[in-house]
Chain A
Amino acid sequence: EDQVTQSPEALRLQEGESSSLNCSYTVSGLRGLFWYRQDPGKGPEFLFTLYSAGEEKEKERLKATLTKKESFLHITAPKPEDSATYLCAVQAETGGFKTIFGAGTRLFVKA
């Protein structure tokens, strides 16, 4: 069964304290892995798509990487406005093109 597991469940950082969020996945053939940011009471906002192991993408303070079993979202020198829930999702080659989401990591950045 296709599965996405994110850790930690919650992460509290001081402003400027870099860290990483983990997304472990088990799928029968990966079509794509996606990272989203979700603010309270809002729909998810697309951040990155990764397609193959070794691929990396960056956007401002965020960098996403991908291996055959997991993906990391690195946050460099975070600011309070980076506080949000970060969701990881995968689309498998089977399963009718569905996108399966992890439970998310709630990030709190304190000034």
Chain B
Amino acid sequence: GAVVSQHPSRVICKSGTSVKIECRSLDFQATTMFWYRQFPKQSLMLMATSNEGSKATYEQGVEKDKFLINHASLTLSTLTVTSAHPEDSSFYICSARTGGSLTGELFFGEGSRLTVL
């Protein structure tokens, strides 16, 4: 099956610092990737849609200046949490569909647990 890889799996940082999370599609090209956020015992909330070669599309209520998304190649999207604060602590997960499709199942990365002290 399709493989999406995320790095790092866990990161702890001090308040005010920035953290970058990478999402790679390992065996397929992904023109579009999706970034989700998940709080404990809650569902996945879509934060933004990452588009290769163009600006990301953010969901309502998500601060684009705080959550910077870069999709510079067909296999890599990055999420940078800028000036992180404790309330940004969460589980961040990226996903993609294979074959450049706009429909169908998503394949997810392993997730990145961010803890801001």
Contact = CB atoms under 8 A, between A and B. Distances in A.
B103 A44 contact: no
Residues of B in contact with A, size category: 20 to 34
Interface in A40-80: 41-46, 49
A34 B104 CA distance: 8
Nearest to A47: B105
Given A41-B111, A42-B110, A43-B93, A32 B105 contact: yes
Interface residues of A, number: 24
Interface of B: 1, 4, 6, 34, 41-44, 46, 49, 57, 91, 93, 95, 102-111, 113
B44 A101 contact: yes
Contacts of B110: 42-43
Nearest to B41: A106
Given A32-B104, A91-B103, A99-B34, A43 B109 contact: yes
B106 A46 contact: yes
A91 B46 CA distance: 13
B51 to A, nearest CB: 12
A34 B106 contact: yes
B111 A46 contact: no
Contacts of A42: 110-111
Contacts of A34: 105-106
Nearest to B44: A101
Nearest to B6: A43
Given A44-B44, A46-B1, A99 B106 contact: yes
A43 B111 contact: yes
